[in-house]
């Protein structure tokens, strides 16, 4: 158990849907900035954004305060990845390593392209289908250098340390040996997944070959350094929200009450706009405070304040 928990607001697959992360005390935190990169020595945390076999493109909202997970929107529509024959949705649990950032102002020596402005992506290959917003600990096994429309977009290959088979996976060659075809499918998936949306095929550095564990860890560490420069304001993150509750050297650090006020304000703003809420409704209690009421209905209620 990681000690972290998640809290959903609004109904999944709506524009208002958010997954906020909380620490072991139940206080709101940023999954981007407040979850430590390391779970243990050489073991990394991973924020699960997209469970395996699902299609909704959920991601850490880097520009929103406290960086909740929300569904990506493209051209005014909620984004789903197509099922690429013969796959169904994402073929791994997909997410990000916290406290990392692919700096768009840094030209990567391996790819010749700048970073994609997001935390580094992870494909987790274990047997369990993880939950959206789950925080797991992973062993890093290798990395793929994807180039997406001229941006560097590293894809870390990792396995959940709690996977029953995790002891057998220690480097990228173990994936080749024990899950034949999975890495080839991974390249094929990333190459083609935007084609159904009218985009070109993605490219790869290193002739689309995976680099090993040591190389991957070096890349992750470099993205951790860029993140630290970002959150300490040594680099201007432009629209990125660096509000956090734990990074002592960060000028963006706030206290738990301020973090709660952010969550309340974000959710209140949806109510004031008259958005539709699903299974969890926001209610004004007798003390003038908002709280959420779980209701067991499949229909959505429309609340306008």
Q: Which residue ranges make up the site for Mg ion (CB under 5 A)?
A: 116, 118, 121, 153
- Which residues on adjacent β-strands are paired with residue 148? 151
The answer to whether residues 245 and 171 touch, using CB atoms and an 8 Å cutoff, is no
Cβ-based nearer residue to Mg ion, 8 or 116: 116
Closest approach of Mg ion to the CB of residue 5, in Å: 25
Closest CA to 84 of 178, 202, 244, 171: 202
Closest approach of Mg ion to the CB of residue 105, in Å: 16
Alpha helices (runs of H) in 232-296, residue ranges in sequence order? 256-272
Residues 6+ apart with CB under 8 A from 258: none
The answer to whether residues 95 and 107 touch, using CB atoms and an 8 Å cutoff, is no
Closest approach of Mg ion to the CB of residue 212, in Å: 20
Using alpha carbons only, give the angle 301, 302, 303 rounded to the nearest 5 degrees. 115
Cβ-based nearer residue to Mg ion, 152 or 241: 152
Cβ-based nearer residue to Mg ion, 68 or 119: 119
Cβ-based nearer residue to Mg ion, 103 or 118: 118
Q: Which tokens sit at 154?
A: 């590293």
Closest approach of Mg ion to the CB of residue 234, in Å: 22
Q: How far is residue 276 CA from its own chain's centroid?
A: 25
Closest approach of Mg ion to the CB of residue 145, in Å: 12
Residue with tokens 């480097």: 171
Closest approach of Mg ion to the CB of residue 119, in Å: 7
Q: How far is residue 59 CA from its own chain's centroid?
A: 5
The answer to whether residues 113 and 152 touch, using CB atoms and an 8 Å cutoff, is yes
Cβ-based nearer residue to Mg ion, 100 or 241: 100
* 302 C-beta neighbours (distance < 10 Å), count: 9
Cβ-based nearer residue to Mg ion, 22 or 224: 224
């Amino acid at each position: 158990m990681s000690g972290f928990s998640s809290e959903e607001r609004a109904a999944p697959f709506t524009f208002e849907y958010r997954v906020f992360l909380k620490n072991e005390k139940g206080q709101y935190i940023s999954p981007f900035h407040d979850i430590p990169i390391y779970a243990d020595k050489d073991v990394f945390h991973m924020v699960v954004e997209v469970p395996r076999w699902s299609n909704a493109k959920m991601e850490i909202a880097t520009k929103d305060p406290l960086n909740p997970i929300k569904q990506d929107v493209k051209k005014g529509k909620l984004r789903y990845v197509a099922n690429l024959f013969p796959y169904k949705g994402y073929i791994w649990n997909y997410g990000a390593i916290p406290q990392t950032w692919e700096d768009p102002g840094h030209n990567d020596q391996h790819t010749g392209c700048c970073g994609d402005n997001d935390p580094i992506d992870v494909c987790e290959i274990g047997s369990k289908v993880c939950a959206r917003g789950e925080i797991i600990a992973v062993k890093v096994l290798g990395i793929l250098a994807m180039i997406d429309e001229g941006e560097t977009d590293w894809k870390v290959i990792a396995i959940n340390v709690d996977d029953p088979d995790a002891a057998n996976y220690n480097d990228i060659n173990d994936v080749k040996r024990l899950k034949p075809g999975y890495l080839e499918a991974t390249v094929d998936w990333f190459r083609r997944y935007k084609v159904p949306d009218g985009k070109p095929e993605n490219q790869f550095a290193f002739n689309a070959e995976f680099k090993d564990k040591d190389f991957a860890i070096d890349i992750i560490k470099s993205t951790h350094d860029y993140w630290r420069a970002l959150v300490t304001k040594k680099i201007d993150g432009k629209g990125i929200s660096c509000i956090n509750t734990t990074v002592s050297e960060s000028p963006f650090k706030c206290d738990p009450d301020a973090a709660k006020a952010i969550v309340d304000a974000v959710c209140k703003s949806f109510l004031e706009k008259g958005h539709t809420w699903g299974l969890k409704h926001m209610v004004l209690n007798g003390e003038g405070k908002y709280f959420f009421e779980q209701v067991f209905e499949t229909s959505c209620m429309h609340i306008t304040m």
